[in-house]
C-alpha cells in the first residue's frame, strides 16, 4: 500500500454543492495529518490540521477514521474560489523524529457557476 | 506570518551548468526542505535539514546537493544540470512538528 493515496479527480461540482474527498494512508501509528490547498502554478498552503478525530473551520470539515486509515475533507456550499488542488499530507512510515511529511498527489476540484 | 522567500520565480539554464537555488525563511525555523513537483508525481522530497550544517537525503537526492551554513538559509545545488531536472522547485520550513510553510516556488527550465 502506498504511504498516502488520493483520487486525482477532477471533481466537477456546481456552486453551492457539498463535496468530499478521501485520502488513505498506510502508517497506522500516524498521529497528525494535514490538508493543503494548491492553486494552479502556486505553492501549497496549509488549509487544516487534523490531530484527533476531526476538525472544522467554517465550510470545511476534516475527519479522521483511524480504523480504516483514511482522512476526509468535506467542503460545504462550494464557492468558485474553492477551485484548486487539495493535497493530503501524512507523516512517513519511519519515524524520523522531526517533521518530514509525505504529500499525496492531490485531488483537483473544479467549481462551476 | 511566516515568510519563505525563494530567490527566483523563473530560471532558465543550460545542460551541464551548476545551478544554485536559494531559500530564506524569517521565522527561526530549524527544519528546512527542498521539494520538486512534477505533473502526476506530486511533491517529492530532495533534501532536508534539521539544523545548521546538518542535512539528510530525501527520496530523490541524485544529482543534487544542499548547503545550510546559516539557520535561515537553505540552498539547493544542481551540480551539473540535466534536462530531466526541469521542474518546479519548492522550499519549505517548519518548527518542530508544526506544519510546513512553502515559498512561492522556482520554475526551472534546463535547455
Per CB-CB distance under 8 Å, the chain B contacts of A89 are: 99
End-to-end CA distance of chain B: 37
Of A44, A89, A99, the CB nearest to B97: A99
pLDDT at B18: 97
**Whether pLDDT at B26 is above 80:** yes
Q: Which residue has the higher pLDDT, B97 or B110?
A: B110
Question: B33-50: per-residue pLDDT in tens?
Answer: 999 999 888 899 999 999
Of B56, B58, B104, the CB nearest to A43: B104
Interface test with B, best of A100, A105, A106 (most B CBs within 10 A): A100
Query: Which are the contacts of A16, defined by CB distance < 8 A and separation ≥ 6?
Result: A77, A78
Question: A14-49: per-residue pLDDT in tens?
Answer: 999 999 999 999 877 777 889 999 999 899 999 998
Dist. CA B2–CA B29, nearest whole Å: 9
Question: B56-93: per-residue pLDDT in tens?
Answer: 999 899 999 999 999 999 999 999 999 999 999 999 99
Query: Which are the contacts of A42, defined by CB distance < 8 A and separation ≥ 6?
Result: B104, B105
Q: Which residue has the cell 542535512?
A: B55
Q: Answer yes or no: do A98 and B42 touch at CB < 8 A.
A: no
Amino acid at each position: 500500500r502506498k504511504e498516502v493515496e488520493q483520487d486525482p479527480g477532477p471533481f466537477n461540482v456546481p456552486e453551492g454543492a457539498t463535496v468530499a474527498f478521501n485520502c488513505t494512508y498506510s502508517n497506522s501509528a500516524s498521529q497528525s495529518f494535514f490538508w493543503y490547498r494548491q492553486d494552479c502554478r502556486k505553492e501549497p498552503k496549509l488549509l487544516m490540521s487534523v490531530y484527533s478525530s476531526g476538525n472544522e473551520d467554517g465550510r470545511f470539515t476534516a475527519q479522521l477514521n483511524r480504523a480504516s486509515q483514511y482522512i476526509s475533507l468535506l467542503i460545504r456550499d462550494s464557492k468558485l474560489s474553492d477551485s484548486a488542488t487539495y493535497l493530503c499530507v501524512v507523516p512517513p512510515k519511519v519515524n524520523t523524529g522531526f517533521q518530514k511529511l509525505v504529500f499525496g498527489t492531490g485531488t483537483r476540484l473544479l467549481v462551476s457557476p | 506570518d511566516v515568510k519563505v522567500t525563494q530567490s527566483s520565480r523563473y530560471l532558465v539554464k543550460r545542460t551541464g551548468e551548476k545551478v544554485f537555488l536559494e531559500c530564506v525563511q524569517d521565522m527561526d525555523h530549524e527544519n528546512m526542505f527542498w521539494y520538486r513537483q512534477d505533473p502526476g508525481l506530486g511533491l517529492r522530497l530532495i533534501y532536508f535539514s534539521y539544523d545548521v550544517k546538518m542535512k539528510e537525503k530525501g527520496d530523490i537526492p541524485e544529482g543534487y546537493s544542499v548547503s545550510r551554513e546559516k539557520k535561515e538559509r537553505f540552498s539547493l545545488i544542481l551540480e551539473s544540470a540535466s534536462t530531466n531536472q526541469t521542474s518546479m522547485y519548492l522550499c519549505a520550513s517548519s518548527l518542530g512538528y508544526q506544519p510546513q510553510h512553502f515559498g512561492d516556488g522556482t520554475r526551472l527550465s534546463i535547455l
